[in-house]
Each structure stands twice: as structure tokens, then as C-alpha cells.
Amino acid sequence: MLIAMLVGLGTLWLPFVSDESTAPASEPSSTSLQEQGDGLMKNVEDMVAHGGMGDAKAIVHHCGEATRYAETIIKQLSMADPHRGDAMASLNEVIRQCSRVSEIGIHADPGQLLNPATKARSAAQESMKLLGLTKAKKS
């Protein structure tokens, strides 16, 4: 409304408009990265737990969610992070192993899904360690 009134007066003043093409990209908040890491770890842990219960459908579901979280974390990684390359390699391994789980599918023996699922969990744990996002275990 203020803009319309100012335009009507022949003056256009937009104090909070910036040129987004020249604005620096904002660094992802560590809270957001921590939330994504927590989501990744919850899904890889649930995925392996369901493997022990013989629930192939749940394994495939949690692997899909783990892939989504890993992809999001990769997009949020800071270029300045000294462990970025190694963390990306581990996150890409999560995605690769979860792709194997999806290819094997829900109709396979859950034991067949457990091998790539545990490899995905190990890769996720490694990436969280590299990024400093591991949570202390409660005793």
C-alpha cells in the first residue's frame, strides 16, 4: 500500500529491496544441518532395525528417507568446511547403498537388504562424525 501511494506521488522508494544476484549466499545454519543429520541417523537406524525384524517394506521406506536427508545435507554443506569432500563422499555412499536397497526391492528377502542397509548406516555415521554432528550417547 505504501508503495502504491509513493508511486502515485511519482516517487518509488524501496528501502529493503536488494539485488539477489549480487547478494552473498547465506551459510546454512548449524541447527538446520543438525536437524537434517538427526533425521538421517534416525532413518538409517530404523532401517537396520527393521532389517532385524524382517520388514523389507520398512527397510526400503527408511532408505528412501535417508537418501532424501543425505541429498539435503549435501546441498547445505559449506564450501568452507574442511571435511566437506570426505563428508560428501560418505553421504554419496549412503545414497549409493540406498539405491541398491531400492533396486533389490520390497519383495526380496530382508536379509538381502540388510547388507547394503548396514553399509548405508556406516557411511551415514562416518559423515556425521566428519561434520561434527554426532550426538553424545546417554549413559
Q: Is 15 exposed, middle or buried (0-12, 13-18, 19+ CB in 10 A)?
A: exposed
One of 1.10.10.10, 3.30.413.10, 1.20.120.660, 2.40.50.140 is the CATH number of 29-130, namely 1.20.120.660
Please name which of 37, 24, 15, 10 lies closest in space to residue 94, comparing C-alpha atoms. 37
* Each residue's pLDDT tens digit, 5-62: 333 444 333 333 433 333 334 444 667 899 999 999 999 999 999 888 889 999 999 9
The C-alpha cell of 17 is what?
529491496
Query: Which stretch of DSSP H or E encloses residue 3?
Result: helix 2-8
Q: Distance (Å, rounded) from C-alpha 84 to C-alpha 127?
A: 9
Q: Distance (Å, rounded) from C-alpha 105 to C-alpha 113?
A: 8
The reported pLDDT for the residue numbered 85 is 94
